[in-house]
């Protein structure tokens, strides 16, 4: 089995573990930024095997520059989406914010 056999490469910015909807960025964020062990990650994402988690880490180590750029782009996209949501909240979020403000004004 080749390392790439563990993944569905849907697009250059969308690599998922086969048999799941989980992207490699999810696993690697836990590993790199939260310093979780592969065993801890496998316990969090119970639909993945420990072997899949290790394969993702190995894929990262073999393609470190490319995957690092992939993760940076993902983090940047997430930040932009959060900013957009703050600027243009959904009607439900707007209503909740209004209710919270009214509640705080009463207290």
Start-to-end Cα distance in the chain: 63
> Region 26-44: what's the mean pLDDT?
96
CA angle 50, 73, 32 (to 5 degrees): 35
24-53 burial, b at 16+ Cβ within 10 Å, e below that, comes to bbbbbbbbeeeebebeebbeebeebeeebb
- Return the SS3 of 54: helix
pLDDT at 19 (0 to 100): 93
79: CATH? 1.10.10.10
> In whole angstroms, what is the distance from residue 23 CA to residue 32 CA?
15
pLDDT band at 105 (very low <50, low <70, confident <90, very high): confident
Q: How many domains does the chain contain in total?
A: 1
- What pLDDT, in 10s, does the model give residues 39-86? 999 999 999 999 999 999 999 999 999 888 999 988 898 899 889 888
- Return the SS3 of 86: helix
Range of the domain at 90: 3-106
């Amino acid at each position: 089995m080749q390392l790439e056999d563990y993944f569905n490469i849907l697009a250059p910015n969308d690599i998922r573990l086969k048999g799941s909807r989980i992207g490699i960025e999810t696993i690697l964020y836990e590993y790199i930024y939260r310093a979780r062990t592969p065993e801890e990650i496998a316990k969090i994402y119970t639909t993945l095997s420990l072997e899949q988690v290790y394969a993702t880490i190995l894929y990262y180590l073999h393609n470190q520059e490319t995957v690092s750029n992939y993760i940076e782009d993902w983090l940047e996209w997430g930040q932009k989406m959060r900013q957009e949501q703050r600027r243009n909240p959904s009607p439900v979020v707007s209503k909740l914010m209004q209710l919270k403000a009214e509640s705080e004004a009463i207290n």
